[in-house]
Amino acid sequence: MKSRVLVSVVVMTGIIVLSYSACSPFHSLDSVNNSLSTSTDLNSSNVPIDQNNQNGNQNGNSPMVTPMPLPSPQTQNPTPTPMPNTGGNTSTPIACPNMPSGATVVMETPFNTTDGEGQLWEVYPGAGKIMQPTGVNGNANASVLSAGQGVGGQQTIWPKIGKEQPLSNLYVCMRWKMNKDFIGLRTNNKLIFIAAQDFPFGQAESNGVLSVPARDGYPLHASYQMVFGHNSGNLNNAHACTYGIGEVCYPNAKDTPIYPDTWYIIEAYVASSTCITCRNATVKWWVNGELNGNYTNLNYGSGIVNEFQINHTWDGGSDKQCGPPTNPSNVNGRDCRKDQIHYFDHVILASVGGKASGK
């Protein structure tokens, strides 16, 4: 049975409530409580749970109420200047300048097929689409929430069952963009998960996500911002990050503005803490080679980080359903006049201590 994490989110004056969902056929379906759990579920009574989906899961149901003044309180907001389109051929064909020294590439795909040439596990086969948008190096995997639809997206996971490794760290490098008409949700726009979720090798589960919430009032976004958040209730990072038990980590090095219809090289590196309270996990992320987030004192699992997900599973919550102007009665709904698409042109995963793909 597939379990789902869904938290309803609204944008209020100066406050954005982030929404994360994670789906896994390996986890049992848990009902949402009205208090924090001592397990890895994270449930809270201070956010209204979407009545269309009141299910949690064991890798973290996180009602992430995030004060997100615009600009971010931790960094000065740069004057928005669109980055150049970096389309065209690249030498490798993707440059990953911040790959850790000594790391082994454990997976690489140009996405000529939606399952990464057979390397990835598609939870919803057929959900991903192969497309060729402007600037693509051949093909791109497209995760689509179509205009007028309230359910869609994609959840594609590395590793496949039987290929898991007990990695303590995972580096992600990918070429990605949103479509030119991207508006997103009033809540938050999750991008990828880096986790110890389905294959924790007996260690503590942990789940975290890179997402791209908008900076401005919906739907007139000047730009988007990349943030990291954990949504596992067995973790507490209030000493380093914002909201509640520190579920949202803002850029603390540079805050690169992100725009639709622009290709970016996104890199992230996550190394597990040695225990869930040891405060020695590392989480870093880069946009076009520039360090945006740099945290070296987080709680994140207990020795295992070995799973990657392209996860845009819009599972029917009210914020995913059509809102104004086509459905004014759903005031927190999305603008359904345009497709919402994430394109992945190339993805590389690497790990210090990992085994190369196929070995």
Q: Are strands 15-18 and 11-12 parallel, antiparallel or unpaired?
A: antiparallel
What phi, psi does 234 have (nearest 5°)? -85, 5
φ, ψ (nearest 5 deg) of residue 271: -120, 130
CATH number belonging to domain 71-79+98-359: 2.60.120.200
Consecutive 10-residue averages of pLDDT for the chain (359 residues): 32 34 33 25 25 28 33 32 32 82 96 94 92 91 90 90 96 96 88 95 95 84 91 94 93 96 97 97 98 98 97 82 92 90 96 86
Q: Report yes or no on whether pTM surpasses 0.75.
A: yes
Half-sphere exposure of residue 163: CA atoms within 13 angstroms, side-chain side: 18
> Pairing relation of β-strands 103-109 and 340-352?
antiparallel
**Residues ≥6 apart with Cβ < 8 Å to 35:** 43, 44, 45
Domain ranges of the chain: 71-79+98-359
Whether cis (ω within 30° of 0) applies to the bond prior to 71 is yes
- What local confidence, expressed as pLDDT, does residue 138 receive? 87
Angstrom distances, CA of residue 22 to CA of 74, 157, 221, 265: 27, 11, 25, 24
Cβ atoms of residues 60 and 9 within 8 Å: no
Which amino acid is located at 5 in the chain? Answer: V
Residue with tokens 């007139």: 220
Q: Is 34 left (phi over 0), alpha (psi -120 to 50) or beta?
A: alpha
Do strands 103-109 and 140-145 pair parallel, antiparallel, or not at all (unpaired)?
unpaired
pLDDT at 222: 77
